[in-house]
Amino acid sequence: MSIIRRVSLLPGILCMLLTLCLASTPAALASNNAALQVNVQLRHTPYGAASLRWNPQTQSLHVTIKLVGLAPNSTHPAHIHLGDCNSNGKILYTLNKVVTGASGEAEVSTTISHVKNGIPANKWYINVHNGPNLSTPEQAIPIACGNVHNTRTSRHQEQDTTVILDSTDAPNQAAFGHAQLKLERHTLTVIVTVHGLVPGSTHPAHIHAGRCENQVPGSIVYPLHALTANKNGDATSTTTIRHVQKVPQNSWYVNVHRSPNLTTQTGFDPIVCGDINH
């Protein structure tokens, strides 16, 4: 009797389960069709740090520069200058060139001999230039800079300090902004806003594959409308892209470049970048 009762209850249980499944399907579909909105902070690139270490016995200065967000496969002259990042001080020491691979990352070290007095408390700064040489004003643009501060100036002990390398006062090299991405019904709308640009200047923008700190593969996923700065140095562009299935997590980034001439290192220079995270 109990077996017959269980068998008779089975259709009801199956019907109940089917009803629950059907009831949950529209909610799942609604979730999949819901609009996705992602806000992206755009910060100046490149950025990084330099470490300085002075040995009193050998009177040698060891400098290591680490940067991310540079143009892939690019070369950048670097120096220690007298003064600070807001001055145009003369070159005190020439450092080895900063050379990147496909990722736009770089780490380079230089050892300088005959540095008798060690690292001063201030009045030095480190400049990294647009490159690849210094033969034109565009190549000489400082794209990353940092002032040297040293609290251990005794010449009887080892000295070391770290310098943050970030934006400069050169044209377009202190830009910042944000991007907003909205995906709805397979249409992606991208609004890019950047401040701190040279009035009237034009800047290509793209969504690339990879991340700002590791631009691999770096290929353009979607070109965006270029930004043109108004008289206040502000620019906004809106791009609508159709037939977009999804915005992947942590594998796209937005790049804005220095000039429309993307065939040269100086023009390609990524002045702001932001990872698309959600």
Q: How many domains does the chain have?
A: 2
- Tens-place pLDDT, residues 17-31: 334 333 333 322 333
- 50 belongs to a structural domain: yes
State the residue range of the domain holding 59: 45-165
For the entire predicted model, the pTM comes to 0.85
Q: In this structure, are strands 60-68 and 252-257 parallel, antiparallel, or unpaired?
A: unpaired
Give per-residue pLDDT as tens, 72-122.
999 999 999 999 999 989 999 999 999 999 999 999 999 999 999 999 999
Are 177 and 216 within one domain?
yes
pLDDT band at residue 33 under the 50/70/90 scheme: low
Mean pLDDT (the chain, rounded): 90
pLDDT classification of 3: cutoffs 50, 70, 90: very low
Residue 30 included in any domain: no
57 with 154, same domain? yes
Spatial strand order in the sheet of 36-44: 220-228, 202-209, 252-257, 270-275, 36-44, 176-184, 187-195, 235-242
Please indicate, yes or no, if residue 146 is contained in any of the structural domains.
Answer: yes
| SS3 category, 6 | helix
Residues 94, 250: Cα–Cα separation, whole Å: 38
| Structure-token pair, residue 106 | 């770089």
Q: Does some domain include residue 8?
A: no
Q: What is the CATH number of the domain that holds 179?
A: 2.60.40.200
Looking at the structure, do residues 208 and 117 belong to the same domain, yes or no? Answer: no
Last residue of a domain, one of 130, 165, 200: 165
CB atoms within 10 A of CB 185: 8
Q: What is the DSSP letter of 50?
A: E
Q: Which residue has the higher pLDDT, 126 or 22?
A: 126
Can you tell me the distance from the alpha carbon of 178 to that of 223, in angstroms, rounded to the nearest whole number?
A: 17
Asked if residue 222 and residue 150 are part of one domain, the reply reads no
Give the end of a domain, one of 165, 190, 218: 165
Dist. CA 142–CA 58, nearest whole Å: 31
Same domain, 123 and 160: yes
11 is a domain residue: no
The answer to whether 198 and 171 are in contact (CB under 8 A) is yes
Q: With H, G, I as helix, E, B as strand and everything else as coil, classify residue 203.
A: strand
In this structure, the answer to whether residues 183 and 160 fall within a common structural domain is no
> Within a domain: residue 63?
yes
What residue type is 180 in one-letter code? Q
Residue 22 lies in a domain: no
| Cis, bond preceding 199 (omega within 30 deg of 0) | no
Q: Does 147 share its domain with 226? A: no
Same domain, 96 and 62: yes
Q: Quick: pLDDT tens for 193-206.
A: 999 999 999 999 99
The answer to whether the beta carbons of residues 15 and 145 sit under 8 Å apart is no
